[in-house]
Structure 1
């Protein structure tokens, strides 16, 4: 980092580190403070903690934050009662009788048959905490797993498989075995695991394999000075997420204790990496970099709130609002809160895994069947099935269709309708999960058919 600054010709730089990047930023602060103007450390890995020893405590902490958060939310608690018990009962059941699921790598559409045991179930939920957008769906995913429904877990596993292709395990273990694992002993780690018997199977095998791998990796050991606290008077913004599974807020507070010009903030409802996950922490970071000698305005934190946990869809809770697309020459309705991700396509976007969407398209020079035949293969539907009937509205007469499909290992139900009038083809399509289909068909799809009409 120092050499890069010098080569680029900067007298000073602003350092921004996230996760392991905070470890690097802190070390630069220790060794080369003269070249640093300000520092932002987000999701902090202090040099003087023992990550392997503290990991079981950190995992149980974030699970308890979830369980308590759901219990305190009336809607979540009604839908997903006794979440802690359900979670560990499900993990135990999968250890006794593992399930299988199909995970698809979205980068190449290659599918894998995956064995889902209790340890993998815990790990997938743990990994989901990293992504703030996934946190609201976690109680729902846990209850789905209890019922033997693994589609969202399979979809997420596909994302992890894709992510693995961008990671160099050799580089990872060269750093990990040099800097991190030597801070702990197998006996210390085993004692830490013993305090949480519910997590024993999750940790035992991976911990033993890490010590065995590092014993043969020959990456050496870091200078002991690197594992000492960093003392600095550089202006530093210290950021933490309430739901961070791997670098808890306590670590960020600990690092800040020896940074005399630091400002610490915890962001509710957020996972790992807060500085770019929400406009509030992002704005605070920008304000701090612009003026690092004063604490940034933190009033926006009070408006962030806890996660809005996903609960089963109720038709009565869905509100519609009008929309018009002058280019396609149509008007109709869309659900309030759904965002337009491309022309005529509105997505619910409740979480990173939510693919529920409403599509309303019109085109001249092509029939509705031709539009559908071009679109449906992208949704895993190879051909137009037989119509399930017709539906007449004030503006158009629709042919109705139903289909089921699998995308990236997740099962979806599709309702779509086709109409032709005045040399123009029209299509309305709802894509959602089987569990949400009935409510959304009633509250979104059918009202969309009723409302859609041509406009000049």
Structure 2
């Protein structure tokens, strides 16, 4: 699934061989990982165990073929099984060896009792995905000045949309997609380098919160407290003590870059 998403996007932006985005070994493992993520806990654990046990079997193409035939019998995984068979047919002996080299290393398998994936997809599939579309995601990426920069976003959102098609999380009512409007005093921190919740989103939120303060923090990504803990803590404490007043945020000025331009002469 993920491989097909990447290939489709690369075809549309016209760069290189669509199959070159992922090596056959990477594509094989990505397809298996996607299958694990879309299954319920019991079947997902069973498929994960089968994957881990491959390390104990001969490192051959036949072993991978048997894995695909026996571990993907669930009708819900028919597309993934077909895709894996196609990928396996293109794999060289070096690709097969690369899969087993990966399996021989330390694998991190999610613990269903502590993984945050369940909460993540429950929120995304309920509140976000229903009001968006994968088609629009591709259109937006193609509108970029350099469309290839949108490849990672297209691939990751493609997986989210695919998971949400079967995720039993329901759909939020339409008003959940409306901007939040509230008189409650609110303090908004915006990191100028935040790619997950960009500055433009914070500015949009600020418009419908009449008692809000917007603190733009330079040289900061997602989670401004991580980048400038002392300054952000001071501003937050001041706001909590007097939420009706905008706190002193002059400390962020120290984080603006100082440009040293060469002499034009």
After the TM superposition, which residues 5-16 of structure 1 pair with which residues of structure 2 at under 5 Å, given as runs?
none
Query: Judging changes above 3 Å, is the alpha-carbon distance between structure 1 residues 184 and 96 closer, same or farther for their aligned structure 2 residues?
Result: closer
Query: Judging changes above 3 Å, is the alpha-carbon distance between structure 1 residues 294 and 276 closer, same or farther for their aligned structure 2 residues?
Result: farther
Correspondence 1:250 to 2:200: yes
Correspondence 1:219 to 2:169: yes
- When structure 1 is superposed on structure 2, of 204-213 and 231-240 the one drifting more is 204-213
Contact 1:230 1:258 in 2 (8 A): yes
Question: Secondary structure in 2 aligned to 1:167?
Answer: coil
Residues 39-96 of structure 1, C-alpha deviation per residue, up to 9 Å, x if partnerless?
Answer: xxxxxxxxxxxxxxxxxxxxxxxxxxxxxxxxxxxxxxxxxxxxxxxxxxxxx9x948
Contact 2:137 2:154 in 1 (8 A): no
Aligned to 1:303: 254
Query: Judging changes above 3 Å, is the alpha-carbon distance between structure 1 residues 184 and 269 closer, same or farther for their aligned structure 2 residues?
Result: same
Backbone CA RMSD of aligned residues = 3.1
Instruction: Name which of 117, 123, 133 aligns with 1:169.
Output: 117
Correspondence 1:286 to 2:237: yes
TM (normalized to structure 1)? Answer: 0.31
Query: Judging changes above 3 Å, is the alpha-carbon distance between structure 1 residues 274 and 212 closer, same or farther for their aligned structure 2 residues?
Result: same
Question: Secondary structure in 1 aligned to 2:214?
Answer: strand
Question: Secondary structure in 1 aligned to 2:248?
Answer: coil
Q: Is the helix fraction higher in 1 or 2?
A: 2
Correspondence 1:201 to 2:146: no
Query: Judging changes above 3 Å, is the alpha-carbon distance between structure 1 residues 237 and 163 closer, same or farther for their aligned structure 2 residues?
Result: farther
Q: Which has the larger radius of gyration?
A: 1
Write the distance in 2 (CA, Å) between the matches of 1:163 and 1:237: 38
Q: CA deviation at 1:199?
A: 2.6
Q: CA deviation at 1:209?
A: 2.7
Instruction: Name which of 191, 206, 213 aligns with 1:241.
Output: 191
Q: CA deviation at 1:162?
A: 7.2
Correspondence 1:189 to 2:140: no
Query: Judging changes above 3 Å, is the alpha-carbon distance between structure 1 residues 307 and 172 closer, same or farther for their aligned structure 2 residues?
Result: farther
Q: CA deviation at 1:217?
A: 1.2
Q: Is the strand fraction higher in 1 or 2?
A: 1
Residues 288-314 of structure 1, C-alpha deviation per residue, up to 9 Å, x if partnerless?
Answer: 101111111111111123399xxxxxx
Q: Which runs of 5+ in 1 are unaligned?
A: 1-91, 101-160, 309-456
Write the distance in 1 (CA, Å) between the matches of 2:256 and 2:188: 20
Query: Judging changes above 3 Å, is the alpha-carbon distance between structure 1 residues 200 and 290 closer, same or farther for their aligned structure 2 residues?
Result: closer
Aligned to 1:108: none
